[in-house]
Amino acid sequence: MSHDHDHDNELDPFAARVRALETILTQKGLIDPAAIDVIVDTYETKVGPRNGARVVARAWSDPAYADWLKRDATAAIASLGYTGRQGEHMQAVFNTEETHNLVVCTLCSCYPWSVLGLPPVWYKAPPYRSRAVIDPRGVLEEFGLTLPKDKKIRVWDSTTELRYLVVPMRPKGTEGWSEEQLADLVSRDAMIGTALAKQPE
Amino acid sequence: MNGPQDLGGQMGFGPVAPEMDEPYFHAEWEKRALGVTLTAGAMGAWNIDESRHARESLHPADYYASSYYQIWIKALEVLLQRHGFITQSDLAAGKAVDPAATPKRVLKAADVPAVLAKGGPCDRPVATPASFQAGDRVRTKNFNPTGHTRLPRYARGKNGTIEAVRDGFVFPDSNAHGKGENPQWVYTVVFDGGEIWGEGADPTLVVSIDAWESYLEPA
């Protein structure tokens, strides 16, 4: 018995179900398994939250770029080379001293893939999708983020094909930093709104 | 439809439990599930609205017991059967048994980067001018359609304010059912937390949705 066969027998039922579906579609000539490999590689190694962090770092560094990002996020983001699937229609929303922004998709799992990559499990799961719109402070505390009581919270429910990128506030003490250094302070969660930008060490 | 997907304001699902340093995939099969879903979608037999509707049409008990990639695969099996690409006999055998419909195209590996980089823009020109302007007071419709809609239950029959006029976009309520793109203006509509959640609502909360024009009427 080959190793492959042994391994097949160990597949859990859902893994077997996915493999069967891929097999059927491949045998019928409807899909190209090599195309799946390229898709997976793209979202494992090429498209991820580093893209969004560069957008934020540019906006922090260049007021004209920040203004463009506010007016036409799709074009401003495309100018850095980030385009495509689930980023076709972008909006950038800026945190301020008064207001903290938080993004959710209560109806499915809409997420700006072109700048953040594939969404984390929690973003797609019922606890976050159900509570972000009714109890955002409680949700944020589960991420270790306690906002001041008087801070306004704006929750953006992504109900159409517009996709939202939160631009966190630039941390103090980063004057003169390069965009590359600044991008290191910008986490995926900060661009969803479940975190702030990291403080410089 | 008032399905399991419409989660805003539902209770009882427990804490969010974010995972530190979460990997993109938690199992090899999740990678294949992503790829099979995207390559099958690239055949061009259905649109994103039909696929969303297939997902939300899973039985609620099944939907809530499934991870998101499981939801994708279960819905994909429905779509592939609906459009004549696979049959129950294929699935039961775990291999191709029956003939398949002819797809519009088959996504080849070499074309993947360009296809992903292009995406699927769904903005469309609308023949009529936008009925609302920023600052207008509006009320969302109170309806309960049995088909696909993108107006969440928590935001139905609520008074809000137009914050921005966006663009014309394909209307999912018809597009999901093969009834055409029927593009409409989309608006960002803001609601005070108290308007949506009533007594006990967080006074610092403002929630916005993006809404197609036919979801709205003047307040």
Q: Which residue of A has its CA nearest to B184?
A: A160
- The whole-angstrom separation of Cα B161 and Cα B168 is 19
Pairing of strands A152-157, B205-212: parallel
Short-list A51, A165, A182, CA closest to A102: A165
pLDDT for the residue numbered A9: 54
- CATH no. for B28-118: 1.10.472.20
Short-list A143, A190, A159, A141, CA closest to B8: A159
Annotated active-site residue A108? The verdict is yes
Residue with tokens 């709205």: B216
Domain with CATH 1.10.472.20 in chain B: 28-118
What does the radius of gyration of chain B's CA atoms come to, in whole angstroms?
Answer: 20
pLDDT for the residue numbered A2: 40
The one catalytic residue in A110, A114, A130, A178 is A110
B95 and A143: CB-CB below 8 Å? no
Note the pLDDT tens digit of each residue in B62-104: 999 999 999 999 999 999 999 999 999 999 999 999 999 999 9
B40 and A25: CB-CB below 8 Å? yes
- The whole-angstrom separation of Cα B102 and Cα B84 is 9
A40 and B210: CB-CB below 8 Å? no
Confidence check on the interface: ipTM exceeds 0.95, yes or no: yes
Note the pLDDT tens digit of each residue in B147-201: 999 999 999 999 999 999 999 999 999 999 999 999 999 999 999 999 999 999 9
Quote the tokens at residue B43: 């055949």
DSSP strands (E only) in B159-198: 159-169, 184-192
Q: Which of B10, B43, B119 sits opposite A84 (nearest CB)?
A: B119
Domain with CATH 2.30.30.50 in chain B: 137-218
B19 and A120: CB-CB below 8 Å? yes
Half-sphere CA count of A66, side-chain side, radius 13 A = 16
- Provide the phi-psi class of A176: left if phi over 0, else alpha when psi is between -120 and 50, else beta: left
Q: How far is CA B135 from CA B10, B25, B126, B218, in A?
A: 30, 43, 21, 12
Quote the tokens at residue B89: 């006999």
pLDDT for the residue numbered B11: 98
A187 is in an annotated binding site: no
Quote the tokens at residue B178: 């093969």
Note the pLDDT tens digit of each residue in B127-148: 999 999 999 999 999 999 999 9
Annotated active-site residue A158? The verdict is no
A79 is in an annotated binding site: no
pLDDT for the residue numbered A201: 84
Please report residues of B whose CB lies closer than 8 A to that of A48: 24
pLDDT means per 10 residues in chain A (201 residues)? 48 95 98 98 96 98 98 98 96 98 98 97 98 98 97 98 98 97 98 97 84
Q: Which residue of A has its CA nearest to B4?
A: A107
pLDDT for the residue numbered A10: 66
Residue with tokens 């959710």: A104
The one catalytic residue in A61, A79, A109, A187 is A109
Average pLDDT of the residues in B45-68: 98
Quote the tokens at residue A113: 């893939």
Q: Which domains does chain A have, with CATH numbers?
A: 3-45 (no CATH), 48-192 (3.90.330.10)
Q: Which residue of A has its CA nearest to B80?
A: A25
B183 CA to chain A: closest CA distance, Å? 12
From the options 2.30.30.50, 1.20.59.20, 3.40.50.2000, 1.10.10.10, give the CATH code of B137-218: 2.30.30.50
Which helix (H) or strand (E) element contains residue A24? helix A13-27
Q: Which of B22, B36, B96 sits opposite A36 (nearest CB)?
A: B36
B202 and A107: CB-CB below 8 Å? no
Please report residues of A whose CB lies closer than 8 A to that of B80: 21, 25
A127 and B17: CB-CB below 8 Å? yes
pLDDT for the residue numbered A11: 79
Annotated active-site residue A109? The verdict is yes
A32 CA to chain B: closest CA distance, Å? 6
**Chain B contact probe: residue of A161, A163, A188 with most B CBs at under 10 A:** A161
pLDDT for the residue numbered B18: 95
